Amino acid sequence: MLKIGLTGGIGSGKSTVSALLAARGATVVDADRIAREVLEPGTPGLAAVVTEFGPEVLTSEGALDRAVLAAIVFADDAARGRLDAIVHPLVRKRSAELVSAVPPDAVVVNDVPLLVETGQAGSYDLVVVVEADPETRVSRLIGRGLSEADARARIAAQATDEQRRAVADVVVDNSGTQEQLAEQVERLWAERVSPTAG
C-alpha cells in the first residue's frame, strides 16, 4: 500500500486533485467528509460536542448547527482547540478503519486539509501539497459560494504555504488551468506513484 497525504489551503484545489487521483485508481479517504460523519445525529461525537458547547449548537431537529458552532470557534481559539480535541481523534480513528479495509496493493489518498496543522506529515509515504496563490484561491472560493470575507478569514486561520512546503515531498502548482493541473497529476502518478505502488 502506498499512503499519500494530500493537503493544501482551502481553495487550492485539493478536491480537484483527489478526483484526478481517484480517476487513476486511488482510494480517496476524505477527512472533511469523515469530520461531518462523526458528528451526525446519534453519534458519540455529537454528544461530546453538545456536552462541551451546550444544546444551542443543535438545530430544532437535533442535528449539529454548523453555522452556530463555526461562529463560536472562529471567534475563540480556545474553543476551537476544545472542538478539535473532540473531532480530530474521531477522524483519525475512522480514517484508520477505512484504510485497514482497502486491499494491500492499493494507493490510498488521504485528503487532509489540516495535515500540517495537526502534525500528521509523518504518517504518509508521500506528502503532496497543492498550492495556488491566495488571490486565486479567494476568487475560486467566491466561485464556490463563499463570501470574500469568509474566504479570507478561512485562509488566514490555516497554515501558510511555507509551513506546508516544509513537509511536502511533491508540490503541485494549481495557479494555472485545470489542464495544467491534470498534466501535473499525470506526471505525479507516473513518476512517484506507479513505480512504488504495491
| Listed residue (123, 111, 128, 125) closest to 164, CA to CA | 128
Residues 13, 171: Cα–Cα separation, whole Å: 12
Which of the residues 5 through 34 are near ligand ADP (CB under 6 A)?
8, 10-16
Indicate whether 147 belongs to the interface with ligand ADP (CB under 6 A). Answer: no
**Of residues 62 and 143, the one with the C-beta less far from ligand ADP:** 143
- Phi/psi region, residue 8 (left: phi>0; alpha: psi -120 to 50; beta: rest), is left
Smallest distance, Å, CB 141 to ligand ADP?
7
Chosen residue from 33, 36, 66, 144 binding ligand ADP by CB under 6 A:
144
User: Rounded to the nearest whole angstrom, what is the least distance from the CB of residue 56 to ligand ADP in the complex?
Assistant: 29
Shortest Å distance, C-beta 51 to ligand ADP: 31
Q: Find residue 102's DSSP bridge partners.
A: none
Q: Which residues of 171-188 are buried (b: 16+ CB within 10 A; e: fewer)?
A: bbebeeeeeebeebbeeb
Q: Check binding of 177 to ligand ADP (CB under 6 A).
A: yes
Residues forming contacts to ligand ADP in the complex (CB under 6 A) are 8, 10-16, 140, 143-144, 174, 177-178, 181
